[in-house]
Structure 1
Amino acid sequence: MVMLMLLSSQMYNLLNFKTEDPDESVWGAVPHRTAYQQMNQASGPMSGDTQGQPAAGFAFDQVSFTDPSYHDPASYYGQVSNPAALNLDPGYGFFLEETQTEDHDNDGIDDLNDLDDDNDGIVDLIERFDGCYGTDPFDHDNDGILDEFDWDDDNDGILEGPIDYSQGIDPANVSADRYVDPSAVHPWVGTPVGVGYRVDQNPMDHDNDGITDDDTDGTGPGSFDEDDDNDGRIDQFTWPCDFDGDGFQDYFDLDDDNDGVLDIWDEHPWDNTLTGN
Structure 2
Amino acid sequence: MSGEWVTRPAVIGAGTMGMGIAEVLATAGYPVSVWEKSPPVLERARAQLEKRLVARVAKGRLSNEEARAITKRIQPVQRFEELAECELVIEAIVEQLEAKQSLFAQLDELVAPTAILASNTSSLSITSLAGSTKRPERVLGIHFFNPAPLMPLVEVVRGAETAQPLVERVCAWLAGMGKEPVQVADGPGFLVNRVARSFHTEAVRMVAHKLARKEQVDRILEGAGFKMGPFALQDLIGIDVNFAASVSVYEGTFHEARFRPHYQQRQMVERKALGRKTGKGHYRYEG
Would you call these one fold, judging by a TM-score over 0.5? no
Larger proportion of helix: 2
Larger proportion of strand: 2
Structure of larger gyration radius: 1
TM-score, normalised with respect to structure 2 = 0.25
